[in-house]
Structure 1
Amino acid sequence: MPHNFFDLTGQVAIVTGASRGLGQYFARALGRAGAKLILTARKAEACEPFIEELAALQIEAKALPLDVRDRDSITAFATAAEAAFGKVDILVNNAGLNIRKPALDVTWDDWNTILDTNLRGTFFVSQAIARGMIARRYGRIINISSVTSVFGYAGLAPYGASRGGVRQLTMSLADDWGPHGITVNALAPGWFKTEQNRAMYEDEGWVEYLVERIPAKRPGAPNDLDGAIVFLASEASRYMTGQNLLIDGGISVGATRALIKKP
């Protein structure tokens, strides 16, 4: 019988920012592939309803508090995560936020909040968890990037900068930690409807404008990312590291298609 390269049975996966949104989809996909889960939110109890849902699917999960903008919180979390199931094999750096504003309206605090969460948090959580991975000579780190890591969009200057930083960080960490048996990749979703951008999808004109630029002719659905997250967490991607994997319906190749008159 052929080996199942996507089987995560016996693996332990952290998903940060798992109280809502894409984090829950990532966690559910990893759990269905066999992983035990450590879910984080600034208040761990925010994950409890989701843990009950996972239990009904026979997925074992524990919740731990983590504020990715707080150094002491990261240190305490790393210790607790190692103790929860005895090891950590997979880290999904999903915790992130956006403050959508025209560039001239972005404040100093806006910039710091976005970059501290999306970029600095990703680095220092990775650093803390990688220590145990290095000791065991195995790990899968998956940073959540974005199509904004390769394209610029109005109103998203600090967010795009943070996701571009995550892309560069991913490559550097892949080079740093590759000799220790750790792969570091980024998963870069295109335009998906989430809590952060729900209001935009209520504008039918904007959705029409967006869909015209997506070769797949629709925005992403969260479960469109299930296969990619399991792939990056599994043995199937064992020789892949330092990559920014775009799951975007093709918008990265078709972004200007609406500007070209078809014959």
Structure 2
Amino acid sequence: MPDHALPRYPDLEGAAVFITGGGSGIGAALTEGFLAQGARVAFVQRSDASAFCDAMEKKHGNRPLFIPCDITDIPALRAAVAEAEKAHGPARILVNNAANDQRHATLEVDEAFWDWSMAINLKAYFFTAQAVIPGMKAQGGGAIVNFSSISYMMGQSGYPVYATANAGITGLTRALAREFGPDNIRVNALAPGWILTEKQRQMWVTPEALAAHIDRQCLKRELEPADVVGPTLFLASEASAAMTAQLVVADGGVVMTA
């Protein structure tokens, strides 16, 4: 994780955290950020993250619990939440991070691709939240951070199904915040800009596209996974105790919120 100065949130120490896609890319930075706070982190993803867990334990003396899981398999996802609860107790914090922004054109999308993309980018968010909320209610509250994207706010072409799902995440966030606010469960969305993970660099980044995007930013630099760790920790902690149903943007200043 790059050397971003992050505050210490005492309420995160010992907190049970569940993260989807927490072993690579942005998710790995999030897992490390919570581990550095002293939280007990469990995360799911399909690819093996054992080496990452070893590295985190060596670096922080705090090993995350990796549970292999395809988040589109809802029974497996529910079982993973149950396994994490058995190890750490009910989650006080959920970070719905896993997503897939595979590029596609509207006229080439078939029903199978639509269903696959929605399953990863929206459906899993709903059912992960559904799985953790009873435990949050039982312990008197919790915080959910749903990762969205500025893609639908920009009117960006190249991934219409992904953009649709991200717009849905904002709607889901506000609906859950309203429904479970009386249970002291806060639900917020975080919309990053173009965060240059290794996957992004390998698959989508070209010098021309990156230069054009940075030209649209107020901050004239590349954005890294660490740039969304601080906002996530803030939304998860009691420092943001009065914030819920909000969409927070961390994109270097591309889109403006009213």
CA distance in 1: counterparts of 2:256 and 2:124, whole angstroms: 30
CA distance in 2: counterparts of 1:62 and 1:69, whole angstroms: 20
- 3-state secondary structure, aligned to 1:252: coil
Decide which structure has the larger Cα Rg and report it: 1
1:14 to 14, 18, 29: 18
| Contact 2:106–2:160 (8 Å) recurs in 1 | yes
Q: Please give the residue correspondences for 1:1-263 in structure 2 after superposition, counting only pairs within 5 Å.
A: 6-7=9-10, 8-42=12-46, 46-56=48-58, 57-198=60-201, 199-201=203-205, 203-253=206-256
CA distance in 2: counterparts of 1:93 and 1:195, whole angstroms: 20
- 3-state secondary structure, aligned to 1:80: helix
Q: 1:76-107, CA deviations, whole angstroms, 9 ceiling, x for partnerless residues?
A: 12221210112211111111112202222222
Q: Percent identity?
A: 33
Q: CA deviation at 1:59?
A: 1.9
Structure 2 unaligned segments of length 5 or more: list them: 1-6
CA distance in 1: counterparts of 2:183 and 2:68, whole angstroms: 28
CA distance in 2: counterparts of 1:81 and 1:17, whole angstroms: 14
| Contact 2:14–2:40 (8 Å) recurs in 1 | yes
CA distance in 1: counterparts of 2:211 and 2:8, whole angstroms: 39
| Contact 1:98–1:196 (8 Å) recurs in 2 | no
- Relative to the length of structure 1, the TM-score reads 0.89
| Contact 1:38–1:62 (8 Å) recurs in 2 | yes
Tell me the amino acid that sits aligned with residue 48 of structure 1: S
Q: CA deviation at 1:12?
A: 1.0
Q: Please, which moves more after superposition, 7-16 or 102-111?
A: 102-111
Q: Which residue of 2 aligns with 1:261?
A: none
Q: CA deviation at 1:195?
A: 4.3
Q: CA deviation at 1:196?
A: 4.4
CA RMSD in angstroms comes to 1.7
Q: CA deviation at 1:149?
A: 3.7
CA distance in 1: counterparts of 2:137 and 2:67, whole angstroms: 22
Tell me the amino acid that sits aligned with residue 35 of structure 1: A
CA distance in 2: counterparts of 1:10 and 1:19, whole angstroms: 20
Tell me the amino acid that sits aligned with residue 29 of structure 2: Y
Tell me the amino acid that sits aligned with residue 15 of structure 2: Q
Q: Aligned residue pairs: how many?
A: 248
Tell me the amino acid that sits aligned with residue 215 of structure 1: C
Tell me the amino acid that sits aligned with residue 15 of structure 1: I
Tell me the amino acid that sits aligned with residue 54 of structure 2: E
Tell me the amino acid that sits aligned with residue 119 of structure 2: D
Runs (4+) of structure 1 exceeding 4 A deviation are: none
Q: Please, which moves more after superposition, 97-106 or 243-252?
A: 97-106
Tell me the amino acid that sits aligned with residue 55 of structure 2: E
Tell me the amino acid that sits aligned with residue 31 of structure 2: A
- Relative to the length of structure 2, the TM-score reads 0.91
CA distance in 2: counterparts of 1:24 and 1:167, whole angstroms: 23
Q: CA deviation at 1:5?
A: 7.2
Structure 1 unaligned segments of length 5 or more: list them: 255-263
Q: CA deviation at 1:69?
A: 1.2
- 3-state secondary structure, aligned to 2:154: coil
- 3-state secondary structure, aligned to 2:256: helix
| Contact 1:99–1:110 (8 Å) recurs in 2 | no
CA distance in 2: counterparts of 1:149 and 1:243, whole angstroms: 16
